[in-house]
């Protein structure tokens, strides 16, 4: 893919940290949905939600090449922010979009997981407590 880290291990660990931070947040989303859906079969069906998040991001294709609605969703997707921030941190080129989200990818790459975590940890804990009733 042409990705070569041009800096030291601290930069690589920062990029890995951004990726793990997003994964941690999405894990809590999955835990909450698994508790709400209650059956193992329906909990496994949550995996279907992973595909739209991945494909409606700029991880694979520039949002400028997408239809307007999909491009807007891809621009503000949490995975887009993290992928763009990791590309920036590693010194690799990113898609040439001139949006606020693209210019502030580092901020969004830390804010999206924080918002998701702060939203879904209490929801998952509440749902878990309700299981005992």
132 vs 101, more confident: 101
Give the tens place of pLDDT for each residue, 64-108. Answer: 888 888 888 888 999 989 998 988 888 876 766 678 888 888 999
Calpha distance 77→106 (Å, rounded): 13
> Do 95 and 102 meet the contact criterion of CB atoms below 8 Å apart?
yes
Residue 2 has pLDDT above 60, yes or no: no
110 vs 58, more confident: 110
Burial track 74-83 (b if 16+ CB lie within 10 A, e otherwise): bbbbbbbbbb
Torsion of CA 83, 71, 30, 42, to 10 degrees: -140
Provide the CA 117 distance to its chain's centre, in angstroms: 12
Q: What is the pLDDT of residue 42?
A: 76
What percent of the chain has a predicted confidence (pLDDT) above 90? 36
């Amino acid at each position: 893919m042409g990705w070569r880290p041009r800096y030291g291990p601290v930069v690589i660990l920062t990029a890995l940290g951004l990726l793990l931070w997003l994964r941690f947040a999405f894990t809590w989303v999955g835990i909450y949905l698994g508790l709400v859906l209650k059956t193992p079969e329906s909990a496994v069906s949550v995996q279907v939600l992973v595909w739209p998040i991945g494909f409606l991001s700029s991880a694979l294709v520039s949002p400028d090449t997408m239809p307007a609605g999909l491009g807007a969703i891809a621009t503000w997707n949490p995975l887009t922010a993290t992928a763009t921030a990791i590309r920036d941190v590693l010194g690799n080129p990113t898609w040439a979009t001139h949006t606020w989200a693209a210019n502030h990818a580092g901020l969004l790459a830390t804010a999206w997981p924080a918002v998701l975590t702060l939203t879904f940890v209490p929801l998952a804990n509440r749902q878990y407590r309700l299981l005992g009733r």
